[in-house]
Structure 1
Amino acid sequence: MSTAAGGLVIDWTQMTTYNTIMALATGAALLSLAALGRTVARKEPFHAEGWALNLGVLGFILTLTGAHMTLTWPFAKYFPFDNIIFGEPSLAFGVILLAAAFYAWKRAAALRDPATVGRELAAAAQPLSIFVTGLGLSMIAIACAGIAFQLFAAPPEEPISGRFAQYPWLEAIFISGLYATVGLTALLYPFFVRQASAGESGGAVQKVTGVLLVLDGLAFLLFGALNYYTHIGLIINTMPKP
């Protein structure tokens, strides 16, 4: 990365980036989990194969990209912390989604009754509570690092986001806030599945979890879609000139 007379110049051979598709898939997955919870809570027909395909597609994208970003050190020469901030959470979330897809596909015949499917899904998901809680704490730690070190700020050359480059704390608060609320959702996970496996529905924990999933899912989905424009613009504006 260097600064020329015309502005910032980045050697893009040393800065691989595709957190666009990662953010998009993460948002879609969070919204899917919220929709899944609503379907089960309302005792609507549960089509296990369709949910397995949905979660499998999203899980594959996040596992593949997350594994590559996690295992390639440093993934982006200028931002080696991307391995930790984006790669590892995506890998973990992707593997969980793939496991859920596999379970739904294998147990499709046993997950036909809307009256019992919620308890069965929650009972199967309950053993993951320890790992999900750890991921929640990790998300909060990343959020704290984002604030403390003012990460996530876009350079001035990036369209839209770059207009706030002189206020690095602004984007740091936004992205860190997303990580923190996802972390909070993960910390609620053990209580959620415990209540659901006992057949309880409509409790405060379940409502708060659902709201957080929808808000975070929309934020990640829209932010990821926006980044397709802003990242393309950043590349165009910072490519070495021939």
Structure 2
Amino acid sequence: MKDFFTGEKTPGMIDWASMPTYNTIMSLVAGAGLIALVMFARDLMRQQSALASRPVAGAADVEAGPRGEIAPVEDGLSTDGWALTFGVLGLILSVTGLHMTLTWPLAAGGFAFDNIIFGEPSLAFGVLMGALALYLWRRGDRITGSAQPVRMVARAARPLSVLIAGLGLALLGIMFAGIVYQFFAAPPQEPISGAFADYPWLEAWALSLVFGLVGVGALLFPFAVRQLAAPTPAGTAATSGGAAKAAGWIWLITGVIFLLFGAMNFYTHIGLVVNTQ
């Protein structure tokens, strides 16, 4: 039990000065980003549903704007809050992902493949969240003032579906590589995760499947935005469609896994450093 929480000590095993490792924060933020995307989509759906349930135009609490927009729902969607959220998350992933993609810091310790696995998807996800933050910051008033905010955002996101689907294929490639080559297995010097070092297939399959599931959600994205971008009759509550619901649940579940795994790794990676420096 002591080794489970402390790991084995092998002083001098890794030269950490030549191998900066920060996929802890990357995992945490990537998980938070996936969860935030689902929460934002649900807020957007609620915004449109709340507008649809209001009295017909002409009632005291409904005012048309200069372009025919509807007055925003009180205490409704906060585009400023979501812009800040995606801006913060996108900045962290963009900076760390770009540094890992261009400098390959994990190659010094013999983990060159991890630079591809963690760096490049993080960079792409971070830039995408940064673009969403900018869009919400610049178009927030038009979104909250639109009678069909879901359709407006979906139409703006539709051109990105090609890239996002491509990233989905890349994540599936990472999944198969992780399973075939048994990546992600922790050494016995790492607390908790290292207790399963004699079963490298276990963590390889577990994390590989999480990457693959995120990829499946990305592959569903083009179908989801196509459904959400379809016009709906005025005053109709937003409906997500099968692809959007499936992608949402997949990203929510995998987001929670990445967030919790990243949080745990702040302990396990510190223990690994202590045991091997």
Match of 2:199 in 1: 167
1:42 Cα deviation from its structure 2 partner: 2.2
Correspondence for 1:28 among 17, 26, 32: 32
Correspondence for 2:266 among 203, 212, 228: 228
1:201 Cα deviation from its structure 2 partner: 1.6
Contact 1:30–1:213 (8 Å) recurs in 2: yes
5 Å matches for 1:148-227?
A: 148-199=180-231, 201-227=239-265
SS in 2 for 1:159: coil
1:114 Cα deviation from its structure 2 partner: 6.4
Q: Which runs of 5+ in 2 are unaligned?
A: 1-8, 51-75, 232-237
Deviation track 1:106-155 (CA, whole Å, cap 9, x = no partner) reads: 00110113641111110000000111111000000000000000000000
- Paired with 1:109 and 1:7, the residues of 2 have a C-alpha distance of 57
Correspondence for 2:10 among 7, 10, 30: 7
Per the normalisation by structure 2, the TM-score is: 0.82
Match of 2:137 in 1: 105
Superposition misfits of 4+ residues, deviation over 4 angstroms: none
Aligned in 2, Cα 1:202/1:125: closer, same or farther, shift over 3 Å?
Answer: closer
| Range moving further from structure 2, 10-19 or 181-190 | 10-19
Q: RMSD of aligned C-alpha atoms?
A: 1.5
How many residues in Structure 1 have an aligned counterpart in Structure 2? 235
- Paired with 2:124 and 2:260, the residues of 1 have a C-alpha distance of 22
- Paired with 1:172 and 1:189, the residues of 2 have a C-alpha distance of 26
Between 1 and 2, higher relative CO (CA 8 Å, sep ≥ 6) is seen in 2
> Is 1:96 the equivalent of 2:96?
no
5 Å matches for 1:47-126?
A: 47-73=78-104, 75-77=106-108, 78-113=110-145, 115-126=147-158
> Which structure has the larger Rg over C-alpha atoms?
2
- Paired with 1:27 and 1:73, the residues of 2 have a C-alpha distance of 22
**In the alignment, residue 242 of structure 2 is paired with which amino acid?**
A
- Paired with 2:186 and 2:221, the residues of 1 have a C-alpha distance of 32
